[in-house]
Amino acid sequence: MTQLQKEHFIYSLPFGEDCTWQYASSVTTVKEILGAMRDPSPEDEALIRKAYEFAQEAHKDHTRYSGEPYFMHPTAVAKHLAELGMDAPTVAAGLLHDTVEDTGVSEDRIEEVFGHEVRFLVEGVTKLGQHKYRGAERHAESLRRLLVATSADVRVLIVKLADRYHNMTTLEHVPPEKQKRIALETLEIYAPLADRLGIGRLKKEFEDLAFPAIDPDAYQHAVEVRKLKRKENEEGLARVQKGLQHALARRGMRDFKTEIRVKGLWSLHQKLKRKGDDITRIHDIAALRVIVPTIDDCYQTLGMVHALWKPLPGEFKDYIAFPKPNGYQSLHTTVLTSDAGVVEIQIRTEDMHQRAQFGIASHMSYKQLGKAASKGAFEKLSMAWIRDLVPTLLKVSKKPGAAPQPEPKKKPQKKPEASPRWLSELVDAHASAETNEFVEGLKQDFFSHRVFVFTPKGDVIDLPTQSTPVDLAYAIHSELGNHMHGAKVNGKLVTFDTVLRNGDIVEILEKQSAHPTKKWLDYARTGMARRHIRGAIEARAIAELPQTEAKAVLAAKGPTPAKRARKRVPKKQ
């Protein structure tokens, strides 16, 4: 971590909040790891101590780029996992995750000492780190490997995120020619993955740690802007915070807390670009957060806020009624105050706050799954998460015009002989995509900000921002997209390039004689829609050829991409 990052790390924390994600500068002790865990049993403690001693011995002769003992890395990873509330096997895997790849310890030895579950997690993390491609190919393969591994057990991905987090805190010691590549991969893959997992704190740290390696000048500019803006508003925001605390207490509100959240540097940089670098148009560099016991308290607090200060029109967002795709819930409102000018206020329950900070990890602790949770429980949760994570990448086997519905629940099989069905669908969806197209498609469909729209029947569908009716049609079903001849938004006919907004009610009009044209490629926002459009145009062109020419074209193309891809799908471990 550079001196500039050290200087602004504590500065960027919310007032009064103790950040658990501290940058390790020494070897973390086993006592610190156990202290960060939530009520570990004697068996848990024994497992962690054994893994600690095993990893310490395995890494005893290894050092990092900085010259420090390598063992400081797995201990830091394990502590992060403990702070996230992960179970003992996951924390143990954090301690052991580099032993197979770096020290020559065999996977069989890991299983012999620690059992099959820990071996499975270590093996999964090891496989994610083995690919050595560079640039777009590396990104594409990394994404594919992450999705495949996560389908089996999302804990594999959480260990990998904790591993990458600690590596980013010591990025300054990596050779300069590698720093930017690692930072870009972190920003383009790991930060969005943390976001889609709902781990907001980790997403922010990834972005701000990668930022200076990617664009040092822009990073310095964002630091100065945030410092200036915060200096202007700090005293006034503290008065607003105190005034709201008094108002809540007078109304009989109990067990609430308030804190001031400071915007991340990368997020600020992105917003400055959207606002033409006009600092006066940015009102959420520092926001007031209110945490209350119940959902009813959230809406009562919102009423108090609007009674105290005038709300700005169009700036209220109800993420409690309409959660973000990653599960984030909160009320956001922006008000005009006399003490601090325009202020954003976020209102949520403690449970919502924990989920906003720790995401899916908050559902994978002992409290949620129970201490006797089997690997099957984690697998079931992982499968549900990954299907929600990539909704636009899966082919929906529904009648044209029907909104996608969840599939009937099936009993999890402990040892499936074949890859799960969703994985075959995912491979089919991407089989025809070249490497660059795959990466761009994932960035647009999977990692972008989202917008929520409704079908006429009231089904909610989320799409990337800037999506059009064409994207919605293909998100529902490829046949609906291929035969779309019109669209209505909120009851009015619109053009195909109309940008959809939150809350729009969208009806897709279908006609069998309609078919995609090249112009549709300009209207489509998602990679999935563009792939379907190109496929339909190509299929129509081949169908219009004489039979002999059509056969020659198809023969030249060889086996379909889906068939080729199925051969490459790995069996589940």
Backbone torsions φ then ψ of 21, nearest 5 degrees: -85, 65
Structure tokens at 189: 């893959």
Contacts of 59 (CB under 8 A, 6+ apart): 69, 70, 71, 74, 98, 99, 102, 103
What are the backbone angles phi and psi of residue 224, rounded to the nearest 5°? -65, -40
Question: What are the beta bridge partners of residue 318?
Answer: 331
Active-site residue (options: 32, 45, 68, 101): 101
Pick left, alpha or beta for residue 427 (phi over 0 → left; psi -120 to 50 → alpha; otherwise beta): alpha
Active site residue 101: yes
Interatomic CA distance for residues 186 and 133, integer angstroms: 15
Q: How far apart are CA 201 and CA 211, in angstroms?
A: 16
Q: Tell me how many degrees the CA angle 381-387-389 measures, rounded to the nearest 5.
A: 95
Question: Could you give the CA distance from residue 324 to residue 115 in angstroms, rounded to a whole number?
Answer: 38
Please confirm, yes or no, whether 137 is among the known catalytic residues. Answer: no
Residue 126 near residue 102 (C-beta atoms within 8 A): no
The type of residue at 424 is S
CB 141 within 8 A of CB 131: yes
Strand partners, 492: 489
Distance CA 170, CA 2 (A): 8
| Strands 341-349 vs 331-337: parallel, antiparallel or unpaired | antiparallel
468/460 Cα distance (integer angstroms): 15
* From 32, 45, 68, 102, the catalytic residue: 102
DSSP string spanning 28-54? PPHHHHHHHSSS--HHHHHHHHHHHHH
Query: Which has the closest alpha carbon to 194: 164, 224, 234?
Result: 164
Two tokens, residue 203: 């997403």
Q: Are strands 341-349 and 286-292 parallel, antiparallel or unpaired?
A: parallel
Is residue 467 a contact partner of residue 526, using CB atoms and an 8 Å limit? yes
* Rounded CA separation 489/451 (Å): 14
Of 500, 407, 198, the closest CA to residue 323 belongs to: 198
Angle between helix axes 216-250 and 295-308 (nearest 10 degrees) is 100
Task: Report the C-alpha gap between 528 and 429 in whole angstroms.
Answer: 8
Q: What CA–CA distance (Å, rounded) separates 88 from 405?
A: 35
CA distance 516 to 63: 58
Residues labelled catalytic: 101-102
